[in-house]
Amino acid sequence: MSAALALEVKTWGKTTPILKLLREELEDLEDLNEAIAFDSEEMVRLWILNAAETRHTSAEALGATPTGYLSRAAEQTTSQATSKGAEVTVRGEIFKRWRGPVTVTPKRARLLTVAINAEAYGKRARDFKNLKLVKGKSGSLALVKTTGRGKNKKIVPMFALLKKAVLPQDEGLLPGPKRRAETAEKTARDYLARLIQRGGFKR
């Protein structure tokens, strides 16, 4: 199951005066929080889709086609609201990098397989047949495949084998608390306008 990360929507200093006002004045906040959750979910989804546009470094370096993993993760964004608040949930191991660097270690094997060839990008070693293990002069390990015969024989590196890999933090994957609060404030302003129009808000 993909890792889930819940993003709470809270007030943020002086940038959310209307949201703060409504939370102080309204007896029932569930309807307001549902509106905030809905708008915040859409904002986060669009944020991730926009982030996906600029995160193809590995694929581009190998001349490979991007996997579309982040775009698919964006479509799994959900939200929920109660009388106490609203939150947006995103799913995907990649979002751990929003909080800080992530160390990846093998789960079922002794070593990680990292694609070093466009053909291998986005795939697993088991997707290929007859890969062979080779050891470099420096002691590095790799899985390679052999193509052709005789003079046309070529050894094509497919995967590097590593004990672990450290992925750097990527704060741009998700909107921070201030951006989430700004979205909530806009929703709160629209919500207040509707209340006033219906004569449902008096101080």
Collapse the DSSP code of 55 into the 3-class scheme (helix H, G, I; strand E, B; otherwise coil) and give the result: coil
Question: How far is C-alpha 37 from the geometric centre of its chain's CA atoms?
Answer: 18
The pLDDT tens digits of the residues spanning 54-83 come to 999 999 999 999 999 999 999 999 999 999
Whether residue 37 contacts residue 85, with contact meaning beta carbons closer than 8 Å, is answered with no
CB 80 within 8 Å of CB 102: no
Distance of alpha carbon 51 from alpha carbon 74, whole angstroms: 10
Cα-based distances in Å from 135 to 57, 90, 149, 157, 186:
27, 40, 22, 11, 58
Determine the pLDDT at residue 1: 45
Q: How many CA atoms lie within 13 A of 150 on its CB side?
A: 1
pLDDT by 10s per residue, the chain, length 203: 467 899 998 887 788 999 999 998 898 999 999 999 999 999 999 999 999 999 999 999 999 999 999 999 999 999 999 999 999 999 999 999 999 999 999 988 899 999 999 999 999 999 998 899 999 888 899 999 988 888 888 989 999 999 999 999 999 999 999 999 999 999 999 999 999 888 766 66
